[in-house]
Amino acid sequence: MTGITEQDPLHGYALGLGVGESTRLRRQAGELRPEAEALLARIGLRPGDAAIDLGCGPHGILRLLSAAVSPGGRVVGLDAHLAHVAMATKYARRHGLGNVEVIEGDARHTGLPSGSFSLVHARTLLVTIPEPAGVLAEMARLARPGGWVASLEPDCEHSLCYPALPAWGQLQEIFLASFSRSGADPFIGRRLPELYRQAGLDEVGLTIYAGAYPAGHSRRTVIPDLVRSLHPVIIERGLASERELAELDREVRQHLADPRTLMVPHLMVAAWGRKPAAQLVRTGSHPMAGGQSCSEL
C-alpha cells in the first residue's frame, strides 16, 4: 500500500508506483482477504462505527470495512498516490460503497482530527517505510479512546522453497538487499507488538500466518513479483543486470510452476492493539469535537 507521500521517495514507498505495482496491489487485496476478514472479526466493528484504511492503494479492505460499519457508519481510505486515490474512488462507486470516502494524504501526517475512528488499519504499509513508529503514532492518534489499531505486515526472514533452487536463493538476496536500501524493514512483522506498545496501545495481540501456496496461486510468486517492482532500484544500484534478473525470474517461475515444489514466501503477521479508554490525546492543530484539548502519552 502507498500511504506515504510521493514527494519524498527515499523516505516513502519502497516498491515504487508503477502500473505493475498497482496491478500487484489489486491482486494482493484478494489474496489476503481471509486474513483481513479474520482481523476484522477479532476487532468486532459495529454498525455506526468509523474506520480508516491507511495506504489503501487501489482498494485495500474498503469493501470489508464498509460492510462492517453499515448501516450508519463511515469509512475513509487514504493514499499518497493520486492514481490510487482515483482507482479506489472508482472501486467504491462501482461497488456502491456510499459510506466510503477516499482522500489523498500522507500516513505520517494525515491532517485528520484526533480520536476520529473506531479502527485505524494499515496493510503492508509499515514494511515499506524507514520510520514505521511515526506512522503508528499517527494511527494511535487517529483512534478514539477505546478504539483499535490493526495491521498486517510480512516478516521475510523465513521462507521455504523445496526442492532447493539456487536461483531462488539469489532472487531472495536481491530482493532483501534492494528493498532494505530505501530504509524499509523486511523483518517488520516481529517488531509489531513492540511498536504497538511504544505507541501507547494496550491489549496488544498478534497472529502469524505461514501460507503454503499451491501451483497457480498468485501469492506463490510474490517474491519474483516484488523483484519486478524493484527492477529500477536493482539496476540503478548495480545489484544485478537486466539479463541476470530475466534469467533468475524465468528459472524461479518455472520451478514454482511445478506442483511438486513446496513454497512459503514469507510469514505474515497480523497485530492489533487498543487505545486506552482513559488516554488523553494531544490534538495540536487537530481539535477534537467540542474543541477540547488534551495531552498525549
HSE, side-chain direction, 13 A CA sphere, residue 105: 19
Domain assignment of residue 30, yes or no: yes
Residue with cell 529500477: 232
Domains of the chain: total: 1
pLDDT mean for each 10 residues of the chain (297 residues): 43 48 73 93 97 94 97 97 94 96 96 98 93 96 98 94 96 92 89 97 97 91 91 92 97 97 96 84 35 28
User: What pLDDT was estimated at residue 27?
Assistant: 79
Domain assignment of residue 281, yes or no: no
Cα–Cα distance measured from residue 102 to residue 100, given in angstroms and rounded to the nearest whole number: 7
Domain assignment of residue 296, yes or no: no
Residue span of the structural domain in which 246 resides: 9-276
Q: 284 CB contacts (<8 Å, ≥6 apart)?
A: none
Domain assignment of residue 267, yes or no: yes
Cα–Cα distance measured from residue 196 to residue 290, given in angstroms and rounded to the nearest whole number: 28
Tell me the CATH number at 208: 3.40.50.150
Residue with cell 470489508: 64
Domain assignment of residue 294, yes or no: no
Domain assignment of residue 20, yes or no: yes
Domain assignment of residue 173, yes or no: yes
Residue pair 52/75 in contact (Cβ under 8 Å)? The answer is yes
Cα–Cα distance measured from residue 285 to residue 281, given in angstroms and rounded to the nearest whole number: 12
User: What pLDDT was estimated at residue 19?
Assistant: 53
Closest CA to 215 of 253, 267, 159, 270: 253
Residue with cell 481510505: 77
Domain assignment of residue 282, yes or no: no
Which helix (H) or strand (E) segment is 189 a member of?
none
